[in-house]
Amino acid sequence: MTKQDVLKLKVGDMVLINGQIVTGRDKLHKYLFNKKPHREQVPFNLEGTVLYHCGPIIKKTPKGYKLVAGGPTTSMRVEIYEQRIISEYGLRGVMGKGGMGMQTLKALKENGCVYLHTIGGAAAYLAERVKRVAGVWKLEEFGMTEAMWILEVKDFPAIVTMDAHGRSLHEEIEKKSFAAFSGLVGSD
Amino acid sequence: MLKLQNAIVELYRKAATSLPEDVEKALRLACRKEEKGSNARAALSTILENIEIARTGERPICQDTGVPVFFVKAPAGLSHLKLRDVIIKATRIATREIPLRPNAVDILTEKNSGDNTGIGFPVIYIEETKYKKLTVDLILKGSGSENIGQLYKLPIAELKAERDLEGVRKCVLDTVYKAQGKGCPPYIIGIGIGATKDQVTRLAKEQLMRSLDDVNKQKVLAQLEKRLLNDINKLAIGPLGFGGKTTAIGVKIGINHRHPASYFVDVSVSCWADRRAGLEWKTVKSEK
């Protein structure tokens, strides 16, 4: 994805992702954030790609790795790392579930990146949209769940819930639910 | 015990790959309630499609096959140690064969054991029953929703929550409000009220084993469950937090007696994939 592509996306848009994306969750974020490997030290070019918060179930077959189940994990756990990872590695998309905080929202705007919310728990459905496991990094060190997997996806569905223009659906829903919550709790 | 071991492997398979009927029915109903063309409806229809794919292909519904939590009721004379041993062996086989995602991580070395067993992993609660049959209930507790559960000690000034059921209601709303969409709603909420922290957390989790159609025997709790479900849905967080009419599809409350000075409330949350399954074993005596 280019910055131009990203700027066209708005909160609420449904997108279908095609091409290569990479997975990364708690350990990978911690590693990239603290060890700060240079771009060339990462075996895959992360520039312009989508980093998918996912700890998949992968099976080793005679034909190579196969993704059995691969839905999103809760993105908020990597909120403290994501801002710098977006700018350092030139990501254009961050995908997961549950949304992220103000730090990431700011980074999305500054760098031209979007947060994509895919369908939490729909691991079998999403696995069918992963056409090939193209590679893996840090498998030995981090294990299957936490490794960086390179996935070739076709028509992988997601909804833009935080855009590069500073809008967050999660912020809006939280504000609305706060009003309802205050009413319900204060009304005894 | 070998037969029981195989049965527990199958119990894992059932829990991981097929959702209980009552939960699926509630999700179907929720899908019809959401507005056509909304992201909430799209999310629920994808979820329903996913349930179908997982069941027919015998693949895990969600890649986070969670922390396995067992509630076992064993007849007199059946060794609890042996039962634990059978469950642990079955866990290793199920992890390899289904497959489940290995989720047991050593606190000190950060190494994943690779087979879903470790210190206190899986979680196994065994108690003796007066009945002759053995029952084994399993829930695969996903951690996205486990992480948003909360433990409260009433009273709580900020919530104006006193030590009564109205205070409990406020705690539950607080948990769901704070959770927003992070734990994969529509949620199922289990609540435990009682004297000690360890007791209420287990009690809350046990509520997640109840069928959604199960009505609380205590009338006042049945009413509160109904009211809470209604209240939670007024928060309008919606499926996966996209906004919408369904934030929860079930609320279940369990109570213990409390100490005069203590009033603990635990709120345990399940994602829409409330993966529970149970088996009854009637031929315990003939098992060696």
* Residue A138 zone, left/alpha/beta (φ > 0; ψ -120 to 50; rest): left
d(CA B227, CA B229): 5
The answer to whether A117 is a known catalytic residue is no
d(CA A15, CA A63): 30
Cβ contact B256:B265 at 8 Å: no
Joined tokens for residue A185: 């709790």
What pLDDT digit, counting tens, does each position of A98-137 carry?
A: 999 999 999 999 999 999 999 999 999 999 999 999 999 9
The whole-angstrom distance between residue A21's C-alpha and the CA centroid of its chain comes to: 9
The whole-angstrom distance between residue B155's C-alpha and the CA centroid of its chain comes to: 26
pLDDT of residue A187: 52
pLDDT of residue B1: 84
Q: Is the peptide bond before A43 cis (omega within 30 degrees of 0)?
A: no
pLDDT of residue B285: 55
**B224 in A contact zone (CB under 8 Å):** no
d(CA A124, CA A68): 7
CA distances to A95, A160, B42 from A9, rounded to whole Å, are 14, 7, 19
> Nearest 5 degrees, angle CA B59-CA A128-CA A82?
100
d(CA B109, CA B150): 28
Going by C-alpha positions, the residue among A77, A178, A57 that lies closest to residue A126 is A57
Write the residue in A74, A125, A159 that is nearest to B39 by C-beta: A159
What pLDDT digit, counting tens, does each position of A1-57 carry?
A: 899 999 999 999 999 999 999 999 999 999 999 999 999 999 999 999 999 999 999
Place of tokens 């929550």: B161
DSSP 8-state code for residue B216: P
In chain B, where are the structural domains located? 2-14+61-142+275-286, 144-270
- Rg of chain A over Cα atoms, rounded to whole angstroms, equals 17
Joined tokens for residue B58: 């015998």
3-state SS track over chain A: CCHHHHHHCCCCCEEEEEEEEEECCHHHHHHHHHHCCCHHHCCCCCCCCEEECCCCEEEEECCEEEEEECCCCEHHHHHHHHHHHHHHHCCCEEEEECCCCHHHHHHHHHHCCEEEECCCCCHHHHHCCEEEEEEEECHHHHHHHHCEEEEEEEEEEEEEEECCCCCEHHHHHHHHHHHHHHHHHHCC
pLDDT of residue A186: 87
Place of tokens 């899908």: B31
Q: What residues have CB less than 8 Å from A115, skipping those under 6 apart?
A: A75, A93, A94, A95, A96, A99, A100, A104, A105, A108, A160, A161, A162, A163, A168
CA distances to A12, A27, B104 from A141, rounded to whole Å, are 38, 10, 16
Contacts of A181 in chain B (CB under 8 A): 173-174, 177, 235
Count of beta carbons in the 10 Å neighbourhood of residue B252:
25
d(CA B122, CA B101): 13
d(CA A153, CA A20): 6
* CATH level 3 topology of A3-186: fumarase (3.20.130)
| Å between A137 CA and nearest CA of chain B | 17
Contacts of A98 in chain B (CB under 8 A): 144, 180-184, 241
User: Position B155: which residue type?
Assistant: P
Tens digit of each residue's pLDDT, chain B (288 residues): 889 999 999 999 999 999 999 999 999 999 999 999 999 999 999 999 999 999 999 999 999 999 999 999 999 999 999 999 999 999 999 999 999 999 999 999 999 999 999 999 999 999 999 999 999 999 999 999 999 999 999 999 999 999 999 999 999 999 999 999 999 999 999 999 999 999 999 999 999 999 999 999 999 999 999 999 999 999 999 999 999 999 999 999 999 999 999 999 999 999 999 999 999 998 655 444
Q: What are phi and psi of A93, to 5 degrees?
A: -150, 145
Burial of residue B120, with CB atoms counted within 10 A of its CB: 0-12 exposed, 13-18 middle, 19 or more buried: exposed
pLDDT tier at A188 (50, 70, 90 boundaries)? Answer: very low
d(CA B65, CA B73): 23
Cβ contact A90:B96 at 8 Å: no
A143 contacts B102? CB cut-off 8 A = yes
Count of beta carbons in the 10 Å neighbourhood of residue B38:
17
Going by C-alpha positions, the residue among A52, A48, A61 that lies closest to residue A29 is A52
In chain A, where are the structural domains located? 3-186
Dihedral of CA B156/B159/B160/B165: which sign?
negative
A161 contacts B242? CB cut-off 8 A = yes
Going by C-alpha positions, the residue among A92, A101, A103, A97 that lies closest to residue A164 is A92
pLDDT of residue B282: 86
| Å between B127 CA and nearest CA of chain A | 32
d(CA B235, CA B39): 17
> Nearest 5 degrees, angle CA A16-CA A18-CA A22?
105
Write the residue in A117, A145, A157 that is nearest to B101 by C-beta: A145
Write the residue in A73, A76, A180 that is nearest to B236 by C-beta: A180
> Nearest 5 degrees, angle CA A121-CA A74-CA A2?
100
B234 contacts A184? CB cut-off 8 A = yes
Specify whether domain B2-14+61-142+275-286 bears CATH 3.30.1330. Answer: yes
* Residue B240 zone, left/alpha/beta (φ > 0; ψ -120 to 50; rest): left
**B42 in A contact zone (CB under 8 Å):** yes
The H or E element containing residue B71 is strand B67-75
